[in-house]
Amino acid sequence: MKRLIFVLGIMLVAFGVAEEGASAAKAKSDYVVSVNGVKLSRGEFDRELKRKLELLKSQIPEEQLKRIKPEVEKQIREDFIIRQLLTGEVERLKITASEKEIQEAMEQVKSSLPPGVTLEVLMKQNGLTQEDIKKELALGVKINKLVLSQPLAKGKPTDKEIVRFYKENQDKFKLPETVHARHILIAKHPGDDEKQRTEKKTKAETIRKQLIQGADFADLAAKHSDDISSKKNGGDLGTFRRGQMVKSFEDAAFSQKVKEIGPVVETEYGYHIIQVVQHNPPKIIELDSKVKGEIAAFLMQEKRQEAFAQLVKKLRAKATIIVPGN
């Protein structure tokens, strides 16, 4: 199944709604927004607001939470409006979702959850049952079909569009300068006195001389290095870019010649003997078939998002939307 463009099941905004009818007089003073006669009650709005604020409470300070509360309220109203507009349209067009499509959407949701988060946890956080989830995903499948039926969503990116995107977004295809290096560390500690620091630097200089004379780097790293994580790999630090190492170490690694045993470098961690295994200059990734495919997929998704936005705009223009007090 094609990727869901707007899966309401992910948003989990299971609003309770009320139709205008005999109790309209009471409802008019007790709803937050109405879309084509379908209302979001004040009670449901308050419960959804409380739920969202509870989720945010652990992420941001209380003062900031108070400041963004109006934005959260606005987003709840907007989510309800969009939901009702799209629900009305899929019902009007009699778009359906098969059991197979719903199950595929369920598996997609499960596979996209963050590590350690299960569908059961998600349901508990949002106060939803398995049946609620199923209904939400069914609606998502229907909306996806609706969006993909729009002319804009059907068009595939042309080669010209792909090349233009590549040329106009060169920064997205730039690989930074990197170095693959290994080192031997003679660690120093905050309590070391002058004599101890001198002895450690001397030890590092002695090891460097042995390396210059032909000793095996991996063997000496395994024997002498105080960097526990790299010594078992012969001192190998892997590949890194600028900004990932402390400044003095970085400056040495990026300025040394490949295979050269550089001078002893002092950092806050101690004394390092560095050897650069490989130096990779910055470069632009070529526009090969793989990159073209990735760009095409990105542009296709953009077209579908734009189709979604245009669809909502069109439905909004034809709808009767009432926000009391506005």
H/E stretch holding 301 reads helix 289-318
pTM: 0.67
pLDDT, one tens digit per residue, over 268-291 is 999 999 999 999 999 999 999 999
Range of the domain at 264: 177-281
Count structural domains, the chain. 2
DSSP one-letter string for 208-258: HHHHHTT--HHHHHHHH---HHHHTTTTEEEEEETTSS-HHHHHHHHHSPB
**Is 197 inside any structural domain?**
yes
Judgement on whether residues 277 and 305 belong to the same structural domain of the protein: no
- 249 part of a folded domain: yes
170 in any annotated domain: no
Give dist(CA 231, CA 160) in Å, integer: 51
139 Cβ contact list (under 8 Å, min separation 6): 8, 9, 86, 87, 90, 97
Burial class (CB in 10 A: 0-12, 13-18, 19+), 253: buried
Candidates 86, 191, 106; CA nearest to 146 is: 86
Residue spans of the chain under pLDDT 50: 1-14, 17-28
Structure tokens at 19: 């139709």
Residue 89, in any domain of the structure:
yes
Same domain, 73 and 113: yes
Q: How many CB atoms lie within 10 A of CB 150?
A: 17
Same domain for 124 and 90?
Answer: yes
Question: Are 62 and 153 in a shared domain?
Answer: yes
pLDDT, tens digit (0-9, with 9 covering 90-100), for 218-246: 999 999 999 999 999 999 999 999 999 99
